[in-house]
């Protein structure tokens, strides 16, 4: 039987299982492009903002964050993150390339 005593405070913070999007992004770049990406201290926050913008633009499409970042990396020019205004289009393109039912066209 365990005696009651002072309890340690529960640690609240990012999960250890949280994926580093910058590592995912860099792993799918060519070696030359990877050097440029590695030099960007804001890469992780740019990728998180990109994923967030994509989800806001295409809320009904279910794709994992790391899959979107891999797709972005394969289309990256010189290891740079594309402008945020294209995030929704890229998410839609990825979903279409996978034949996702959630990527159905909507009537305007």
pTM: 0.76
| pLDDT band for position 106 (cuts 50, 70, 90) | low
Give the pLDDT confidence score for residue 12 in this predicted structure. Answer: 36
| pLDDT band for position 4 (cuts 50, 70, 90) | low
Angle at 25 between CA 35 and CA 38, to 5 degrees: 25
The mean pLDDT value for 37-64 works out to 93
Give the pLDDT confidence score for residue 8 in this predicted structure. Answer: 45
Enumerate the domain spans of the chain.
21-99
Question: Angle, nearest 10°, between helix axes 43-57 and 87-97?
Answer: 70
- Contacts of residues 35-40 at CB distance under 8 Å and 24 or more positions apart, as own/partner, are 35/79, 36/78, 36/79, 36/80, 37/76, 37/79, 37/80, 38/79, 40/79, 40/80
């Amino acid at each position: 039987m365990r005696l009651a005593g002072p309890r340690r405070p529960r640690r609240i913070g990012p999960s250890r299982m949280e994926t580093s999007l910058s590592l995912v992004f860099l792993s799918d770049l060519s070696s030359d492009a990877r050097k440029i990406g590695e030099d960007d201290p804001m890469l992780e926050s740019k990728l998180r903002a990109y994923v967030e913008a994509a989800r806001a633009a295409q809320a009904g499409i279910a794709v994992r964050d790391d899959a979107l970042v891999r797709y972005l990396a394969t289309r990256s020019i010189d290891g740079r993150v594309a402008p945020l205004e294209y995030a929704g289009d890229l998410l839609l393109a990825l979903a279409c390339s996978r034949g996702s039912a959630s990527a159905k066209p909507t009537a305007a």
